[in-house]
Structures are given as structure tokens and as C-alpha cells.
Amino acid sequence: VEDLPGTGDGTGWRTRLRLAVDGQGRPGYHRYRGTGVVTDLSCPQPVSGMYDGLADRSWRPGGELQVTVDADGVRHVVEIDPAPVSRTGRRSPGRRGATARRAATSRPRRENVVIGSGRAVQRVGDRAWELSATGFWQAHRGAAARYSEVVADWSGAAGGGTAWDLYGGVGVFAAALAAQVGERGAVVSVESGRGAVESGRRALADLPQVRFEASRVEHALDHLSGPVDTVVLDPPRSGAGRSVVEAVAAAGAAAIVHIGCDPAAFGRDIGLYLGQGYHLERVRAFDAFPLTHHMECLALLVR
């Protein structure tokens, strides 16, 4: 398991935080495997200054705070309204209640920018992205650049080729693939978050070979047609799953770069690729979440 740039002694690496707010308006972290809020803001993961002033004021009870420090060192603090949890979510202590609560937190909620502009500037190499402070970006300050380097090294994308960037976010990997396929090639980036797609389109407007599609990956694969030379996938923690892996394999890509932040889901997906005739060529694992048991895994599969 490799360190990422900027890890140091394992402290001060995190540039994004999502804090809960308890019933008294105090920010903190959810208790391990529980719904209680621990209001001791002493976790050593965040970069310096992220907590400043947060405990000195009262926030909306039951809401959340997104704290982001961008590539320019600007801190953005966004207050997010409480999730409208259904009666099942409020009253059921079991799986049904947990599912209802997760569904509520995933729905759009009102956001109030308290500090900063709410638009975070992030960079990989010479390219900059401007995205919502509440949008997705790698939490570790060295992760996006390192993963982009690995994707470019492994992709095998050649000039004039075709590549898919699935679960593509704002297009960090699409930018790396576009540099390889050139203007004669094509890169399709599929991402369900419309805000991320719009941010990606603005950042990569100078790359005519990149096309963004705002869609769930499993839906997009119904009409995306091969041949495709390279596919990069960075699915959520639960993994890509059988239907996505089978559709990608059916498209006939010679090289697949698969990324996963949960080793168990990552391993299940790799097994599915092997069942489709792919060979596991390379694997790298990164300590992307220092002081925790989590890690990020990247695999190169070929056939």
C-alpha cells in the first residue's frame, strides 16, 4: 500500500469534510456505527484551519456542514438543511429505517454558503476545475493527480482511439485520456451528477474530443456502442456490479482501468471481469485515507 503525495505523518491531508449538526446546533462527527454526534472537533486528518470558528457559533440543528479547502487555499463552508426523513426513517431502527434515512440524505437540499464563494477551484497539472464546494472531489489533497497519472500510464489509449470515462465526475480522467487520443480520437465521460457534468464541460471546453453525458452509467451503457479501446471506471463504494461489468466487457475494450475505494466491492468487480475473459495485469493500492482502515485500489485488466 503506497503513500500519496502530501501524506506526511498521516495528519493534515484531508481537504473536504462533511460534518453533522446535533440537536443543540453543534457541529461534529457521527458516532461510529451510530446516529449520535460527537462534537469534539479534534480529528487530525483535516488540513490546518478547516475547523476555525465552527464551534463558536450555533448551526441549524439536524443539518450538515460541508467544509472544503480548495487548491488556492480558500476555505468554503456551506450549511445544508436537514434531510426530510420519512416516518419510516424516523421510527424504524432496522434496515428499512436506515434505507429511508440514506434516501433522504441523497435528495437535493437547500444550501447556504456561509464562508467563501461556494465554488472551489481544484487543479490537476496545468488544468483547473471550478466546482461546487459540496460536489465530489478526492478528499486527499494528493489523490486526484496521482490517480490521473496512473490512468494515463495504464490506459494504452492511442492517437485516434476511443475511450470511455464512466462515473467520470468533472472529467479529471477524461482530460488525461483526451491528451492521449488527440483531436482525432473520442472520449465519452458519463456522470449522473448534472452539476459535475456542467463543471466538467466548462473545464474541458477546449477539448473537442471530449463529450460529457449526464446519465446513470447503467442507462448510458444501453446506447453507448463500441468499438471502444479503453474504459476507465471509478464507481461508488458499492462497486460497478454485474450488469455494468458485463456491458463494458461486451463493448470489447482491450484495456480497462478500474478504481475502487472499498477492497471487498473492488474484489467482487475484479472477479466479474475475470469471468468475462479479462486478465488482471496490474494492481496498485494507495493509503488514500490515512489514520483509517480504508484504501483506494486501482487495477489494469486486459484481454
Catalytically active residues, by annotation: 261
| E-only strand ranges, 59-205 | 64-69, 75-80, 111-115, 119-124, 127-132, 162-166, 186-191
The three three-digit cell numbers of residue 91, written as one number = 421510527
Q: Name the residue among 150, 149, 301, 148 with its Cα closest to residue 230.
A: 301
Distance, in Å, from the CA atom of 160 to the CA atom of 209, rounded to the nearest integer, reads 10
Q: What is the CA radius of gyration of the chain?
A: 20
> Given the C-alpha cell 434516501, which residue does it identify?
103
Inter-helix orientation angle 263-275/242-251, to 10°: 40
Q: How many residues does the chain have?
A: 303
CA torsion sign for 269, 273, 278, 279 is: positive
Distance, in Å, from the CA atom of 162 to the CA atom of 156, rounded to the nearest integer, reads 11
Distance of CA 142 to the CA centre of its chain: 14
Q: 3-state DSSP call for residue 194?
A: helix
> Is the preceding omega at residue 227 within 30 degrees of 0, hence cis?
yes
